[in-house]
Structure 1
Amino acid sequence: MRRVPIAERADWRVSAESFGFRFHTIDGAPYWDESAYFAFSLEQIERDIEAPTLELHGMAMDLVGEIVASEFLMHRLGIPEHYRDWIARSWREGAPHLYGRMDLAYDGRGPAKLYELNYDTPTSLYEAAFFQWLWLEQQIERGALPRGADQYNLIQEHVVETFATIARRLPRPLYFSAVRDSPEDQGTIAYLADCAAQAGLATRTIAIEDIGLAADGRFTDLDDAPIRALFKLYPLEFMFADSFGAALPGADLVLIEPPWKASLSNKGILPLLWERHRGHPNLLPAFFDDRPEVDLPRGWVRKPLLSREGANIELHGDAGERLRSDGPYGDSPCIRQAFHPLVEFGGGYPLVGSWVVGDRASGIGVREDDSPITRDTARFVPHAIV
């Protein structure tokens, strides 16, 4: 694994705008960064990322049935009691799911280490699935990359195939929804709606703020038509806290991602995985924060169960370094995970996001931050297999 400087395409911003990638720059700072790329060997991809991704995903999925059958474990994960039967029922009925992203620390040598699972509303999909592939093709065409260069990226292909597979179980049309004023989220659902259309699904979009609730308990669009299938780029825990959330268990509604993803989109899954697979080479020791009897390594990282985008992380390095990020999750229960630093490349710290689509390892995207804590200000840097 190497970070390789490369000349930017002179027209990449025009290209991004033309393809709907309007969040390439956020608050005046670059989000998409093609001044370099991360180079991997095929062996690194297949042995150190793809194979562990499949194994870790299988381990996590094996835990879901145990979690949803246990009031104690759902309480441990902070899942509100009102939603537990609904979540368990969605698992028993095999409610379909589309995708997830696991974040891995990887330095090109040792085993990749799982930082966390993002299995409800994973972001950076469009740029990983589509725009970095376009970058690869154009850089090869222009001679900046060798003809034999490739990319670990079957994400879009697998997304379309998975939509086609689950289409048989979805009422029509499939609505796509996100917060109205988030360019990144709106761009992501527009991309996913296009993938669903390629799979033959009828689609519509609606802002999450515009979804209504009828007197009979059904969710509706702006024309008062019932919404019976909804892809929501909006966290389940936010839905639970919203005023309409209490109606979810009784609504005639198929959600993607499904309710049972509440058991995986939660950092409490990390100590549960460690308890059941202690010593696994791709796991870090992790414990619920209310277990003072547990002897942690000297270095550890405290993470709220439901924090996002690196918020409210407290890092205690094994050499005595301290780092803390702000955020809105200060009152949340936490877990502690053994400290395992990201590799540093000239002041940048890359985190590998490994995508699972329809239970298949499908590709990666690399986000790079100036801090060892990967925050919402991290840059997306493309990769290539060379």
Structure 2
Amino acid sequence: MERIEVEPREGWPSIIEQQGLIYWKTELPDGSTMPYWHESNAYTLTSDEVYEMEASVRLMMEMLVEAGDYIIESNLFSQMGIPGWAVPRIKETWESEPPMLYGRFDFAYGPDGSFKMLEYNADTPTALVETAVQWHWVQDVYGAGGDQWNMVHELLVARWKELKPRLPGDRVYMLHTTQEKSGEDFMTVGYMIETAREAGLTCELMPIEKLGLHEHLGFIDDLGRSVRTIFKLYPWEWMIHEDFADEALKRMGDEQGETLWMEPIWKMLWSNKGILPVLWRLFPDHPNLLPAFFEGEEHNLTSYVQKPLLAREGANSLIVIDGNEVDRGPDQGYGEEGYVVQQFTDLGTYDGNHPVMGVWTVDMEPAGLGIRESTGLVTNNLSRFVPHIIAD
């Protein structure tokens, strides 16, 4: 893999805004902004590298299934910060397998050629619009001969077509939250609507704050219509603490008065950083895994990353190398739920940047790649999205 210079397209901010990427700037602490979308450079990969990543992800998905079984059998819910009232529904949906849609692995692709799992964003992964937009970039810059590992759009449409007969109600409600101010969640849900409509589904875009409850109909929209199927960009670890959590757990299903949720609540098993020590316990020394341990477990790591079980974008994480703190993520209040410790791995350095490989999955299938890079060792909310191209 290499990082190359590329001539940015003339008028690129207007181009990507028209394609849905309205949040292409990141606000800095001093009030200034920097581009989040970065097309002055690109990463090049070979077909062999892509095939290796794809094969690794297929295997990792199978390993995640074994890890979910293990968490339930070993009753690790408390250790993973999952409250007891959510456990029965997690177990039930794990067995009944209501529809799931997508996820995103984060991998390190180090200078030694090793492909190491950092985490799996299984419930509310973002950077989806960026991944779609970069396909237009490769076509504009490289023409019809430009290639990219990017089947995310096609596989999402195919997945919606497959799910259409299984979804209760006459429409899918796509929920975002008004608490998110950058526009990222809104546009991510908007893009998901585009894929669902292309598959022939009727969709309604709605803030989760407008979701109502009727004694007999169950959840309703702002027009009083029964809400039977929901895709939400609102994490389950927040939902289970909301006022409507009891009703959401009680009315979970495809019967009248019930609601089918995507992603399903069992995704709490996979989106939790606690999945990392579970995978290491089940598959020690696997070439795609890093040694990982729950907080308080004995280990001999001197270079490691301490991560909260439920944090996002590097929040409240700590990087220690040879016993010394070298970087720390922003404080966003995570950590009370507990931590895991994962061996530090080299992300590689490209012109002073450290890339993380975001590999998308649709259902259980690897679907494509989006790369974010940071100048620091923590990939946080100041990272940049950089497109890629397959160049053999």
Distance, in Å, in 1 between the alignment partners of 2:237 and 2:26 is 25
1:45-69 superposed Cα distances (whole Å, 9 cap, x missing partner): 112x111111111100222233334
Distance, in Å, in 2 between the alignment partners of 1:260 and 1:335 is 20
Partner of 1:21: 21
**CA positional deviation for 1:81:** 1.0
* Residues 1:258 and 2:284 are matched in the alignment: no
The one-letter amino acid of 2:174's match is: F
Match of 2:284 among 268, 278, 287: 278
Partner of 1:169: 166
* Residues 1:320 and 2:320 are matched in the alignment: no
Distance, in Å, in 1 between the alignment partners of 2:323 and 2:85 is 44
Distance, in Å, in 2 between the alignment partners of 1:306 and 1:41 is 34
**CA positional deviation for 1:225:** 1.3
- Tell which deviates more after alignment, 34-43 or 320-329: 320-329
* Residues 1:43 and 2:81 are matched in the alignment: no
The correspondence of residues 143-222 of structure 1 with structure 2, limited to 5 A, is 148-171=145-168, 172-180=170-178, 181-182=180-181, 183-216=183-216, 218-222=218-222
The one-letter amino acid of 1:283's match is: L
**CA positional deviation for 1:217:** 7.4
Distance, in Å, in 2 between the alignment partners of 1:319 and 1:302 is 12
The one-letter amino acid of 1:371's match is: G
Distance, in Å, in 1 between the alignment partners of 2:217 and 2:335 is 34
Partner of 2:315: 311
* Residues 1:88 and 2:91 are matched in the alignment: yes
**CA positional deviation for 1:20:** 2.2
The one-letter amino acid of 1:244's match is: F
Name the SS of the counterpart of 2:153 in structure 1.
helix
**CA positional deviation for 1:321:** 4.5
* Residues 1:76 and 2:82 are matched in the alignment: no
**CA positional deviation for 1:179:** 1.2
CA separation of 1:344 and 1:8: change in aligned 2, threshold 3 A: same
Partner of 2:336: 331
CA separation of 1:106 and 1:319: change in aligned 2, threshold 3 A: farther
Partner of 2:8: 8
Match of 2:114 among 87, 105, 111: 111
Distance, in Å, in 2 between the alignment partners of 1:224 and 1:268 is 39
1:165-208 superposed Cα distances (whole Å, 9 cap, x missing partner): 11111112100011125400000000001100111111111001
1:235-254 superposed Cα distances (whole Å, 9 cap, x missing partner): 10000111111211111111
Partner of 1:375: 380
**CA positional deviation for 1:214:** 2.3
Could you tell me the TM-score, scaled by structure 2's length? 0.93
1:232-271 superposed Cα distances (whole Å, 9 cap, x missing partner): 0011000011111121111111111111101001000000
Partner of 1:144: none
Does the aligned pair in 2 maintain the 1:296–1:338 contact within 8 Å? no
The one-letter amino acid of 1:153's match is: N
* Residues 1:127 and 2:125 are matched in the alignment: no
Runs of 4+ in 1 over 6 A off after TM superposition: none
Does the aligned pair in 2 maintain the 1:311–1:327 contact within 8 Å? yes
CA separation of 1:114 and 1:308: change in aligned 2, threshold 3 A: same
**CA positional deviation for 1:110:** 2.0
Partner of 1:136: 138
CA separation of 1:341 and 1:108: change in aligned 2, threshold 3 A: closer
Q: Which runs of 5+ in 1 are unaligned?
A: 142-146
Name the SS of the counterpart of 1:205 in structure 2.
strand
Name the SS of the counterpart of 1:280 in structure 2.
coil
Name the SS of the counterpart of 2:77 in structure 1.
helix
The one-letter amino acid of 2:166's match is: R
Distance, in Å, in 1 between the alignment partners of 2:286 and 2:376 is 27
Distance, in Å, in 1 between the alignment partners of 2:19 and 2:120 is 29
**CA positional deviation for 1:306:** 0.5
**CA positional deviation for 1:288:** 0.5
The one-letter amino acid of 2:161's match is: A
Could you tell me the percent identity over the aligned residues? 35
Aligned residues: 376
* Residues 1:97 and 2:103 are matched in the alignment: no
Distance, in Å, in 2 between the alignment partners of 1:235 and 1:89 is 19
Could you tell me the TM-score, scaled by structure 1's length? 0.94
* Residues 1:295 and 2:299 are matched in the alignment: yes
Does the aligned pair in 2 maintain the 1:303–1:335 contact within 8 Å? yes
1:268-317 superposed Cα distances (whole Å, 9 cap, x missing partner): 000000000000001000000122xx222211111111011110001101
CA separation of 1:334 and 1:321: change in aligned 2, threshold 3 A: closer
The one-letter amino acid of 2:83's match is: P
Does the aligned pair in 1 maintain the 2:111–2:348 contact within 8 Å? no
Distance, in Å, in 1 between the alignment partners of 2:146 and 2:344 is 34
